[in-house]
Structure 1
Amino acid sequence: MVTATSSAAERTTEAATQPRRQGERWRGRATVVLLRVAVIIVAVILWQLLSGPVLPEYAISKPTDVVHALVKLLGSAQGWTDIKTTSIEVLGGFGIGVALGTVTGLVLGSFRIAGQVLEPLIAAINGIPKIALAPLFLLFFGIGIWSKIAIAVAGVAFVVFYNVYLGLRLRERELVEIVQVMGGRRHHVLSYVTIPTLAAPFFAALKTSGPLAILGVIGAEFIASANGVGHELFMSANNLDAPAEFAGLIVLVVMTLILNGILTWLDRFALKKLGLARRANGRARGTDTP
């Protein structure tokens, strides 16, 4: 009776303190956002004041000139064509690279002999700088979008492969054996052991490889292309047009933030569906929620 009463009191106390904790959490997030905005505003003001008197204006331009160049870029049909071209190349390379890296990691991680034979060869190929492969891909696929997609695939696939491969190899053998002893089949091992084990490294690979896909595409567009944000950046640099250069960089930053936001949402959604969100939050607070 005493135990039941104390448990009910604990639940009541926890329910009463939960809104306060949630309010503190929201206030903390709002404070962080405001501080980020403040840092950006201060940086822009200093940029405007120092450009000319202290720093060469031809090299760094001014925020007002950059805004004008950005409006001009977004107001032109060619500007949106470049953004569309780069977006297609990034998304195509990212999607194909994730699929290729995941399948390769699962296959080599599941078959030990195949992993022992092919993993060193994959490591050797991964040691080649991806941008050094751009001329080769240009010979194979031309200056169209497929050469840029191939560069993005090369950057993404290796990151996803290693995270999936090592995550699968580090899977706790004891848990697999427990599921098998309890009568579980392959799909039970996959559902209760493999997928929860690979969820965190897989989404970490996605967040890491997203910027790599953009980097590979922009680098390939620098080398040879007719359209794309990288092409416009290259032309602006050749013309010593600093405002247009910074405008293109702002577009790339926005594209990176959008891609990272989508991947973060997918990460949280998947962890919630797998029942791993509470455990991750507990570890973030310094406690492990069972």
Structure 2
Amino acid sequence: MVTATRSAEERATGTATRPRRQGGRWRGATTVVLLRIAVIIVAGVLWQVLSGPVLPEYAVSKPTDVVDALGTFLRSSQGWTDIKVTSIEILAGFGIGVALGTVAGLVLGSFRVLGQVLEPLIAAINGIPKIALAPLFLLFFGIGIWSKIAIAVTGVSFVVFYNIYLGLRLRQRELVEIVQVMGGRRHHVLSYVTIPTLAAPFFAALKTSGPLAILGVIGAEFIASAEGVGHELFVAASNLDAPNEFAGLIVLVVMTLILNGILGWLDAFALKKLGLAGRERARARKA
């Protein structure tokens, strides 16, 4: 009777503390968001006050001028055309790079001899700065969007390749043998061993390569382009137009945040579907 009463009290206590914990988490998240906003406001105020008396206004401009330049950029049809062109280049380069890196990683990771032969060559090519390949891609693909897509592909594909390739090499051979001994076939090994093993490094590669795709596209637009956010940044820098330069950077920051948000949501959704979300949270707590 005493045991039953204690268990009932424990259940009641547990159910009573869960809402408190959830409420505490919400309050903590809200506090973090408010603190971030406060930091941005304080930085903006200091920027406005120090620009001119302390900092050269021609180099750093003022937040009010940047807001005006950003508004002009977003109200113009050319501004949205630049955003559209850059977005297409980033998404196309990112998608093609992920596909190429995944296929190459799976092939070379599955065939050990082929991987040993080609891995040093891939490492040597990866050592070349990607922006140094821009003039070569301009010769091959011209000044249009495909030269920018090619730069983004080179940055993304190597990151995805190495995560997939090393993930396959580090796959636990014992688990594969257990599945095979139990009568499992290739698709069972793929479902129960390979995919759970590669899920975390694959999505980590996506999060890492997203900003690299943006970096490659903007760098290529700086070198030679007729439109795009990078082209507008180059024109603003050539004209010493600090407000438009900072306005373009704000657009790039927003594009990066949107891409990272989508990749983060995709990561959480895929891990939840694969049943790996709890395992990732446990690793985060240990870390």
Per the shorter chain, which TM-score range? over 0.9
Corresponding residue number in structure 2 for 1:274: 274
SS for the counterpart of 1:278 is helix
Q: Deviations over 1:27-56 (max 9, x none)?
A: 111111111111111100000000000000
Corresponding residue number in structure 2 for 1:160: 160
Looking at structure 2, the residues matched to 32 and 204 of structure 1 have their Cα atoms a distance apart, in angstroms, of 24
Looking at structure 1, the residues matched to 205 and 170 of structure 2 have their Cα atoms a distance apart, in angstroms, of 16
Corresponding residue number in structure 2 for 1:136: 136
Query: Counterpart of 1:242 in structure 2: which amino acid?
Result: A
Corresponding residue number in structure 2 for 1:74: 74
Residue 113 of structure 1 deviates from its aligned partner by: 0.6
TM-score (structure 2 length as normaliser): 0.96
TM-score (structure 1 length as normaliser): 0.95
- Is 2:45 the counterpart of 1:45? yes
Structure 1 segment 51-200 matched on structure 2, within 5 A = 51-200=51-200
Structure 1 unaligned blocks of 5 or more: none
Corresponding residue number in structure 2 for 1:259: 259
- RMSD of equivalent CA atoms: 1.7
Looking at structure 1, the residues matched to 101 and 78 of structure 2 have their Cα atoms a distance apart, in angstroms, of 34
Corresponding residue number in structure 1 for 2:32: 32
- Is 2:20 the counterpart of 1:20? yes
SS for the counterpart of 1:253 is helix
Higher mean Cα deviation, 260-269 or 14-23?
Answer: 14-23
Query: Counterpart of 2:107 in structure 1: which amino acid?
Result: V
Query: Counterpart of 2:29 in structure 1: which amino acid?
Result: R
Higher mean Cα deviation, 95-104 or 8-17?
Answer: 8-17
Looking at structure 1, the residues matched to 170 and 55 of structure 2 have their Cα atoms a distance apart, in angstroms, of 52
Query: Counterpart of 1:114 in structure 2: which amino acid?
Result: L
Residue 2 of structure 1 deviates from its aligned partner by: 9.1
Looking at structure 1, the residues matched to 191 and 5 of structure 2 have their Cα atoms a distance apart, in angstroms, of 38
Residue 14 of structure 1 deviates from its aligned partner by: 3.4
Looking at structure 2, the residues matched to 175 and 30 of structure 1 have their Cα atoms a distance apart, in angstroms, of 43
Residue 5 of structure 1 deviates from its aligned partner by: 8.0
Query: Counterpart of 1:82 in structure 2: which amino acid?
Result: D
Higher mean Cα deviation, 96-105 or 21-30?
Answer: 21-30
SS for the counterpart of 1:285 is helix
SS for the counterpart of 1:53 is coil
Looking at structure 1, the residues matched to 2 and 171 of structure 2 have their Cα atoms a distance apart, in angstroms, of 43
Looking at structure 1, the residues matched to 15 and 185 of structure 2 have their Cα atoms a distance apart, in angstroms, of 40
Number of residue equivalences: 287
Change (3 A) 1:209 1:16: same
Corresponding residue number in structure 1 for 2:237: 237
